[in-house]
Structure 1
Amino acid sequence: MIEKRPSNDRGSTNIDWLDSRHSFSFGQYHDASRQSHGALRVINDDRVAALQGFGTHPHRNAEIVSYVLSGALEHRDSMGNGNVIKPGQFQYMSAGRGVTHSEFNPNDETSHFLQIWLLPNEENAEPAYAQSDIAQIEPKNGLQLIASNIDPAAPIQWRTDATLWRGSYTIGDSGELPGNGDRGYLHVIKGKLQLGEISLSEGDAAAISNESSSLNLVGLEDSEFLWFSL
């Protein structure tokens, strides 16, 4: 089954410094049918105003990835990491048994990034941190392997039962999405794609479960997307 999840069905948080769209229940947004999909728990599409951000706060037993689309994101945590994440970079933090961190926009322009949480496959592990830059990852059939717990070639080795690819298609590109079709999640960052009979545009997603046929994706416009095999 392929379930389209339109962009305008997402929840939202709008305050003076943050404009966020929630693909799953988060904060004050609650939808019983949007709690998680496999290990995938959160995809927040965040825009943070200049010189604003998330103050120091704790996490525990969560696999957290931020992907910066424009602007910058300054990260600091209780493990001693302090880095500015730039467009095209993925930041990974395994909260494990407990960590505190802050995320701040250090620039005079809006920071736009995706904040992604997944459920860990082991609890109370040692916290960990890593970064990956798409400019350093060789694409194959329009896909770049970002993170995995089963593929040693992935630049990010995380503690969750999922594999993450970043995709980039031009008009007319097509390919079969990797995975066995049992469960997956496609999130469109920009552009327009065709997945089977379903057309997907910016902010749309497709939740896949128990799909017996292959998942063929076609680029209808120049597009960027994330594919989670779950």
Structure 2
Amino acid sequence: MIDVRPFSSLGGANHGWLNAKHHFSFADYYDPSRMSWGRLRVWNDDEIAAKSGFPPHPHADMEIITYVRTGAITHEDSMGNRGRTGAGDVQVMSAGTGVRHAEFNLEDETTTLFQIWIETDKPGATPGWGQREFPKSDRTGRFSVLASGDPSEEALTINADAKVLGATLNAGESLTYSLAEGRRAYLVPAVGAVEINGVALNARDGAAIKDEAEITITAKADAELVMVDSL
């Protein structure tokens, strides 16, 4: 099953400094048919104006992954961490017992990003934060693991039985991904247009996938892909 959620159908709100689209129910957007996808709870498509951002606010017991599409985001938290994450790179925060953080676009251009929340497997864990550069050249024509609950993966660590993956495809290229029984995937092209097992998907659309043992993705235009594989 592949359920396409067109970008035009997403909920959201425009706050001036923040133009946010929500793949799942979030804040004032509520759709009982889009509460979550397995352990995946939030996938927000955010545009953050230059010299603005989210002031300090708390989280607990959630794995929060930020994939920067353009521009950069600067993070600061109550654990003493501070770091700048640029386009194509990833940061993760395991909120655990509780943490306050701020996310600001200190750049002179709009920053665009995906913020992804995955339900934790370890409630009450010690909070943590990390970031890493992921050159797009390393994921040409294949999925690379960006964040994972499996410590054997060479990726950022999260406290969840889930993987966040990224790939780039040139127009006409394909890749195949095996989805284990009982698991679900959610895929969004940051840019480009693709077909997933023959089903069309445009830039910033979402595809909720289950009961597909193999997923073959073919690029109809140069594409940058982000996908979550989880229970």
- Distance in 1, matches of 2:76 and 2:197, equals 42
After superposition, what is the alpha-carbon deviation per residue over 1:170-206, rounded to whole angstroms, capped at 9, x for unaligned? 0111121233253111111110000113100011111
Q: Which residue of 2 aligns with 1:131?
A: 131
Report the CA distance between 1:138 and its aligned residue: 3.4
Q: Secondary structure in 1 aligned to 2:175?
A: strand
**CA contact under 8 A between 1:178 and 1:229: conserved in structure 2?**
no
After superposition, what is the alpha-carbon deviation per residue over 1:125-181, rounded to whole angstroms, capped at 9, x for unaligned? 000111121128833742211111125123212111211110100011112123325
Q: Secondary structure in 2 aligned to 1:37?
A: coil
Q: Which residue of 2 aligns with 1:44?
A: 44
Q: Secondary structure in 1 aligned to 2:97?
A: coil
- CA pair 24-189 structure 1, distance change in 2 beyond 3 A: same
Q: Which residue of 1 aligns with 2:146?
A: 146
- Distance in 2, matches of 1:160 and 1:133, equals 21
Report the CA distance between 1:37 and its aligned residue: 0.5
- The answer as to 2:208 corresponding to 1:227 is no
Q: Which residue of 1 aligns with 2:15?
A: 15
Give TM-score scaled by structure 2 length: 0.94
- The answer as to 2:118 corresponding to 1:118 is yes
Q: Which residue of 1 aligns with 2:69?
A: 69
Report sequence identity in percent.
36
- Distance in 2, matches of 1:155 and 1:27, equals 30
Q: Which amino acid aligns with 1:177?
A: Y
- The answer as to 2:96 corresponding to 1:96 is yes
Q: Which residue of 1 aligns with 2:175?
A: 175
Q: Which residue of 1 aligns with 2:194?
A: 193
- Distance in 2, matches of 1:157 and 1:22, equals 24
Q: Secondary structure in 2 aligned to 1:216?
A: strand
Q: Which amino acid aligns with 1:56?
A: P
**CA contact under 8 A between 1:137 and 1:144: conserved in structure 2?**
no
- Distance in 1, matches of 2:186 and 2:67, equals 16
Q: Secondary structure in 1 aligned to 2:160?
A: coil
Report the CA distance between 1:123 and its aligned residue: 0.2
- Distance in 2, matches of 1:157 and 1:229, equals 15
- Distance in 2, matches of 1:10 and 1:214, equals 27
Unpaired runs of at least 5, structure 1: none
- Distance in 2, matches of 1:140 and 1:112, equals 21
How many pairs does the alignment contain? 229
- Distance in 2, matches of 1:65 and 1:27, equals 18
Unpaired runs of at least 5, structure 2: none
- Distance in 2, matches of 1:116 and 1:101, equals 16
- Distance in 2, matches of 1:201 and 1:112, equals 17
Q: Secondary structure in 1 aligned to 2:214?
A: coil
- Distance in 2, matches of 1:163 and 1:154, equals 11
- Distance in 2, matches of 1:118 and 1:160, equals 7
Over the aligned positions, Cα root-mean-square deviation in angstroms equals: 1.5
- Distance in 2, matches of 1:8 and 1:204, equals 8
Q: Which amino acid aligns with 1:195?
A: I
Q: Which residue of 1 aligns with 2:205?
A: 204
Q: Which amino acid aligns with 1:90?
A: V
**CA contact under 8 A between 2:72 and 2:84: conserved in structure 1?**
yes
After superposition, what is the alpha-carbon deviation per residue over 1:110-135, rounded to whole angstroms, capped at 9, x for unaligned? 11111111100110100011112112
- Distance in 2, matches of 1:170 and 1:147, equals 23
Report the CA distance between 1:34 and its aligned residue: 0.7
Give TM-score scaled by structure 1 length: 0.95
**CA contact under 8 A between 2:136 and 2:168: conserved in structure 1?**
no
